[in-house]
């Protein structure tokens, strides 16, 4: 089977997802993977885990949509895949829109990696996004949801439940080799944020609370930049901005911290929480999206109420290193039971092969 994976800006969580999937699928001799992504804002160096990588010229703008569609469908014709696995909302539009009007040879599997109609926006926009997804689902064979929350909400917004499956993301249980040494103050509680510096991830909301508290025993380290702007805010006494770091070094940062913070306004899954658990670290998360599926209060982390930020103040003011270490041990156990890459990859393979997952 020839599988063509199509994405838009493939970085951050989507890039991690694809690397895990492509690497895991190498054990199946009947799978040949191809990758097609935007050359702008996408990670490179995929050649060792896929047969061929194609790049299309595109920057996010409504004026560039038809050019992207043309370039993508030229590659589809060239590769002639058995299955097109589409990743993210815009790529889903580029691939599926033409097939509303013409026949296709390949089966199409689509996953949004977070539904646009679940973003923190107006009900009018949510309904428009849901309508577009319902229309595009006509030219879709299967839709992968990355959490029960995502799947239940998709059904609520009118998508065809018979086309949907839920497959949790998985992470390889290995630590990347790195020579990086971090000299973080071990007497302080070191918080770690990993993600884009945009509205969805909620760092601005967290900082509004955190900066006002001026807790001398806590320091926040921030990994990430905006998708559209690489500039970083100024470091402060309580916050250090690191920008994006090399993927081979990321586990060093997880291991150096005491707890990961995920104050997302919406979150389809929450891969950062899984990477934290892999490294025996708990997470502090908002009560939005799928995060409460991954983190259980006082078991492998803490959950705060986005509508009552005093709950976040309470958690931060009571953080204790020894308690965090115990939560981290539990987090590691939960990771091993539920979020190993092999289980995730095998489910995707069965979906490719048989049109269903292997429960």
SS3 letters for the chain? CEEEEECCCCCHHHHHHHHHHHHHHCCCCCCEEEEEEECCCCCCCCCCCCCEEEEECCCCCHHHHHHHHHHHHHHHHHHCCCEEEEECHHHHHHHHCHHHCCCCCCEEEEECCCCHHHCCCCHHHHHHHHHHHHHHHHHCCEEEECCHHHHHHHHHCCCCHHHEEECCCCECCCCCCCCCCCCCCCCCEEEEEECCCCCCCCHHHHHHHHHHHCCCCEEEEEECCCCCCCCCCCCCCCEEEEECCCHHHHHHHHHHCCEEEECCCCCCCCHHHHHHHHCCCCEEEECCCCHHHHCCECCCEEEEECCECHHHHHHHHCCCHHHHHHHHHHHHHHHHHHCEHHHHHHHHHHHHHHCCCCC
Length of the chain as a residue count: 359
Domain co-membership, 17 together with 164: yes
Alpha carbon separation from 314 to 34, 187, 203, 300, 309 (Å, rounded): 48, 21, 18, 17, 9
Print the domain residue range for 148. Answer: 2-172+340-354
The pLDDT assigned to 15 comes to: 87
Domain co-membership, 52 together with 83: yes
Residue 178 covered by a domain = no
Domain co-membership, 40 together with 163: yes
Domain co-membership, 92 together with 127: yes
Task: Round to whole Å and give the CA distance between 242 and 226.
Answer: 12
Residue 316 covered by a domain = yes
Total domain count for the chain?
Answer: 2
Domain co-membership, 255 together with 139: no
Domain co-membership, 278 together with 299: yes
Residue 104 covered by a domain = yes
Q: The whole model's pTM is what?
A: 0.83
The dihedral over CA atoms of 24, 282, 207, 291, expressed in degrees to the nearest 10, equals 60
The pLDDT assigned to 125 comes to: 94
The pLDDT assigned to 232 comes to: 81
Q: Which of 26, 21, 58 is nearest to 42 (CA)?
A: 58
Domain co-membership, 229 together with 143: no
CATH of the domain at 98: 3.40.50.2000
Domain co-membership, 194 together with 74: no
The pLDDT assigned to 254 comes to: 97
Domain co-membership, 314 together with 194: yes
Residue 264 covered by a domain = yes
Task: Round to whole Å and give the CA distance between 26 and 172.
Answer: 14
Domain co-membership, 271 together with 146: no
Q: Which of 191, 184, 193, 188 is nearest to 264 (CA)?
A: 193
Task: Round to whole Å and give the CA distance between 131 and 359.
Answer: 31
Residue 152 covered by a domain = yes
Domain co-membership, 135 together with 254: no
Domain co-membership, 75 together with 210: no
Residue 179 covered by a domain = no
pLDDT digit string (tens) for the chain, length 359 residues: 999 999 999 887 788 889 999 999 999 999 999 999 999 988 888 878 999 999 999 998 888 999 999 999 999 999 999 999 999 999 999 999 999 999 999 999 999 998 999 988 899 999 999 999 999 999 999 999 999 999 999 999 999 999 999 999 998 898 888 889 998 999 999 999 999 888 889 999 999 999 999 999 999 999 998 766 667 888 999 999 999 898 889 999 999 999 999 999 988 889 899 999 999 999 999 999 999 999 999 999 999 999 999 999 999 999 999 999 999 999 999 999 999 999 999 999 999 998 887 65
Task: Round to whole Å and give the CA distance between 305 and 289.
Answer: 12
Residue 359 covered by a domain = no
Residue 180 covered by a domain = no
The pLDDT assigned to 230 comes to: 65
């Amino acid at each position: 089977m020839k599988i063509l994976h199509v994405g838009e800006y493939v970085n951050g969580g989507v890039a991690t997802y694809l690397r895990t999937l492509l690497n895991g699928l190498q054990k199946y001799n009947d799978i040949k993977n191809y990758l097609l992504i935007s050359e702008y804002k996408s990670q490179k160096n995929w050649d060792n885990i896929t047969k061929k990588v194609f790049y299309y010229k595109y920057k996010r703008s409504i004026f560039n949509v038809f050019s992207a569609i043309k370039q993508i469908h030229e590659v589809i014709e060239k590769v002639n895949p058995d299955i097109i696995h589409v990743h993210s909302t815009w790529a889903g539009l580029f691939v599926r829109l033409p097939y509303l009007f013409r026949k296709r040879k390949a089966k199409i599997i689509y996953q949004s990696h977070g539904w646009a109609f679940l973003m923190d926006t107006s009900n009018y926009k949510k309904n428009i996004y849901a309508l577009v997804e319902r229309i595009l689902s006509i030219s879709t064979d299967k839709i992968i949801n990355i959490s029960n929350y995502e799947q239940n909400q998709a059904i609520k917004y009118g998508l065809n439940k018979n086309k949907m499956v839920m497959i949790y993301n998985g992470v390889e249980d290995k630590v990347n080799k790195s020579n990086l040494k971090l000299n973080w103050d071990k007497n302080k509680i070191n918080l770690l944020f990993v993600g884009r510096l945009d509205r969805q991830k909620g760092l601005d909301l967290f900082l509004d609370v955190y900066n006002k508290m001026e807790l001398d025993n806590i320091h926040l380290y921030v990994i990430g930049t905006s998708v559209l702007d690489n500039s970083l805010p100024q470091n402060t006494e309580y916050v250090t901005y690191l920008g994006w770091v090399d993927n081979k070094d990321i586990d060093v940062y997880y291991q150096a911290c005491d707890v990961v913070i995920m104050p997302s306004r919406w979150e389809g899954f929450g891969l950062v929480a899984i990477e934290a658990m892999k490294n025996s670290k708990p997470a502090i998360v908002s009560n939005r999206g799928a995060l409460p599926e991954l983190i259980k209060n006082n078991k492998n982390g803490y959950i705060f109420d986005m509508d009552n930020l005093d709950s976040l103040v309470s958690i931060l003011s009571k953080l204790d290193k020894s308690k965090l270490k115990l939560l981290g041990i539990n987090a590691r156990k939960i990771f091993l039971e539920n979020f190993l890459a092999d289980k995730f990859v095998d489910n995707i393979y069965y979906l490719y092969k048989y049109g269903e997952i292997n429960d």
